[in-house]
Chain A
Amino acid sequence: MWIVKIAVCIKQVPAYSSEMVSNETGTVIRSGIKSMLNPYDLPAIETAVRIKGKIGANIDIFTMGPREAEAVIREAYSRGADRGFLVNDKRFSGADVLATSYTISQAMKTVDSYDLIICGRQSTDGCTAQVGGELAELLDIPSVNWVNKICDIDDCSITVEQLLEKEKLVLKIPYPCLISVEPSIYSPRMPSLKLKILASKKDIKILSLKDMKDKDFKHYGLRGSATKVEKIFPAPKIERQDIIEKDPTEVAKDIFKLISLVKDL
């Protein structure tokens, strides 16, 4: 029986807020900061698991990071993923979007040819929302971002709804293809106890430079990056406190105006 082969790209991110970026040094204060699965990747996992529930699928998880990033693969297992691949090599560190996409494309090529690759919209640390698009380009497959709904899926294509600013497009995409899903696509399920217990016993395959088809270390990590981050700094906070003293109807009108202004920002 044919089943769709799905790869889901996920990332372990620091659970930090803007308060944890140093204004002086322009770096993230990592001391004491915990890690978590990028929240935008949860709907990507959920989309894959729903497809699996509907028509049957094999779900492979790919993540690039240190050994600790195994935790996010185990989390994906507890939500219904089948196999996990940790792309890990010292020479991969310092990668920008381009080098990250290249490394993941190489890793995927070593494992399988996927029908469908699913990414989350963006990560909460880099926030570029570009890895999905670049990965598709490097794999030479079509990609659709801002996917808000899976309309249909069969053995040769997937039909999705793409949410644009003022309109929605319904697109039928032949396999192989990549979609980046919006958080609104599905509410992620909670990890199941049964799968979580099994998750700790499942294998995770480590993929390093020696496993890649392209073994030239200059194509990976900092050396393979086209961009360099000079400084990270928190966005300036707009702190304003207004006191409106009028009769309640006028106050309500003013509050409504303020809300409209904030919505337009």
Chain B
Amino acid sequence: MSQELIYQIDEKYKEYLSDESRMTGVADSISFPKEENEIIKIITRLKKSNTPITIQGGKTGIVGCAVPIKGHVLNLSNMNHIKDFIKSAGGEYFIKVEPGVSLLELNKEINMLENKEELFWPPDPTEPSATIGGIASCNAKGICSYAYGDTKKYIDQIRVVQSDGIIRDIKRGEELISFANSKIDLIDVYLGGEGMFGLITELTLKLKPKPKFIWGIAFFFKYKEDIFTFAESLITSNLQSQESYIAAIEYIDRETIDIIEKRKKFMSKLQSVPDIEPENTGMIYIEIHGDKEESIETIAEKLMELAISNNSDPDKAWALSGDIEVEKVRNFRHAAPESVNAFIEEMHQQDFRITKLGTDMSVKNENFSSILTKYETDVKNENLKSCIFGHLLENHLHVNILPKNYEEYKRGITLIEKWAEYISLKNGRVVTENGVGKLKKSLFLKATPPKYIDEIRKIKCMLDPEGIWNPGNMI
């Protein structure tokens, strides 16, 4: 019976040996279970031969978490059912889903819910085809994390298949375990655990009332200095009110704008976005959410004043409101990593050793201008090309090196290692939202205190003593 669930890897399954990172791996077999029972059967069979298992979702990851290095690939894309919508006695809303449900499907389902209040699930990573299991496993964030935080906050319960085949329901707040001289919630080991501790078969997501109004404003700047002073004034000004708040502040550099515009004709979702004037050196996109449009307008007016005093023309700033309109600028922002990934794919086709070369580092104790200038100067000194975009207020910039050959790729790796060292010294985070996976493993191991790594290993030994889950990830 279980034999029928497991297929030998051949040409037909080649696409499952890679993901958006452009890493390519190896595996002997693959399965596509549709339900928990099938997972148990698959695991039981694989355990007999001590075969390690790589868990796979939408293959949209960019650090190679779901790329196998040996053994079996357990692909969860067929476990894609939305199971239940729950309103708790305390008035909170939850939706129970299987891990293979995509973000797109989830949002569609939430929009169709018959509920008095409009609801949403705040995590909003770039790729709508990402699965909820994948988003949970790397604790993704998305552009509005400034207001809403990371994915963990919005997952209340998970159901996990352990390596011994036993199924456990883990609810937030019910079980704490020791980690680095403190206690952490067991659920948070799995969320962001990159599939190393167990296989999540069900997630109970916490929904929030959707803000009634949403505005997206894009400011354009001719001079870098004006971007820096505008960024500084965003930090020092009081831009919140009781009814409205800034949900996202994103920076996009000229090189990123150019790479998006080059690919625009292939992206139907960008057809309604006009070209950005060539004299602009960068843009800052700000999203405001709230329940009263008047208070959003008050924030928008303050932003307009700040923009004027920093030489950004408010006549040329884009201002959109409502989900449908705001989606147009979000699509533009989302096209940034998509365009970079498409470039890397082209280079990967020319030289298979070239994979994604992007950073995911954040540092709070530094100002935006000095960290951006550092990245730009280093890239220029190495005679490389890059695209820089990301979350401005947390200095969480994604610097994507665009190597044209393997030599440039190697120089890019050295540069990223240098930045990781620098960010660690500044007490920043080397890996923030994209995961460690296999691509950033050496970076993560170098930049993380050995004691912390030992603690992760202890938990791995405790929850997966035979080491069957996701070999090669993180540690």
Which A residues contact B (CB, under 8 angstroms)? 15, 31-32, 34, 36, 39, 42, 71, 75, 78, 187-197, 200
- Please state if A192 and B318 are interface contacts (CB–CB under 8 Å): yes
Bound together, the chains give a CA A189 to CA B304 distance in angstroms of: 19
Bound together, the chains give a CA A180 to CA B217 distance in angstroms of: 31
- Please state if B114 and A31 are interface contacts (CB–CB under 8 Å): yes
Bound together, the chains give a CA A201 to CA B320 distance in angstroms of: 16
Q: Which residue of B lies closest to A39 (CB)?
A: B272
Q: A187-B272, A190-B328, A194-B314 are in contact. List 15 more A-B contacts (CB 8 A).
A: A32-B113, A36-B324, A36-B325, A190-B273, A190-B318, A190-B319, A191-B319, A192-B314, A192-B315, A192-B317, A193-B217, A193-B315, A196-B319, A197-B297, A200-B293
Bound together, the chains give a CA A11 to CA B300 distance in angstroms of: 27
Shortest Cβ-Cβ A-B pairs, 7 listed: A190-B318, A193-B317, A193-B319, A196-B319, A194-B314, A193-B314, A36-B324
Q: Is B162 at the interface (CB under 8 A from chain A)? A: no
What's the minimum C-beta distance from A42 to chain B, rounded to whole angstroms?
8
Bound together, the chains give a CA A189 to CA B319 distance in angstroms of: 11
- Please state if A194 and B301 are interface contacts (CB–CB under 8 Å): no
A-B contact count (CB 8 A): 68
Given contacts A32-B112, A200-B293, A200-B297, contact A190 B304 (CB under 8 A): no
Interface centre among A190, A193, A197 (most CB of B within 10 A): A193
Residues 282 to 316 of chain B near chain A (Cβ within 8 Å): 293-294, 297, 300-301, 303-304, 307, 314-316
What's the minimum C-beta distance from B265 to chain A, rounded to whole angstroms?
13
Interface of B is mostly: mixed
Residues 306 to 356 of chain B near chain A (Cβ within 8 Å): 307, 314-325, 328-329
- Please state if A34 and B314 are interface contacts (CB–CB under 8 Å): no
Bound together, the chains give a CA A187 to CA B328 distance in angstroms of: 14
What's the minimum C-beta distance from B274 to chain A, rounded to whole angstroms?
6
Question: Which chain A positions have C-beta within 8 A of B319?
Answer: 78, 190-193, 196-197
Q: Which residue of A lies closest to B317 (CB)?
A: A193
Bound together, the chains give a CA A248 to CA B56 distance in angstroms of: 29
Interface centre among B114, B307, B324, B328 (most CB of A within 10 A): B324
What's the minimum C-beta distance from B129 to chain A, rounded to whole angstroms?
18
Q: Which residue of B lies closest to A188 (CB)?
A: B272
Bound together, the chains give a CA A190 to CA B316 distance in angstroms of: 9
Bound together, the chains give a CA A39 to CA B268 distance in angstroms of: 14
What's the minimum C-beta distance from A150 to chain B, rounded to whole angstroms?
18
Question: Which chain A positions have C-beta within 8 A of B273?
Answer: 190
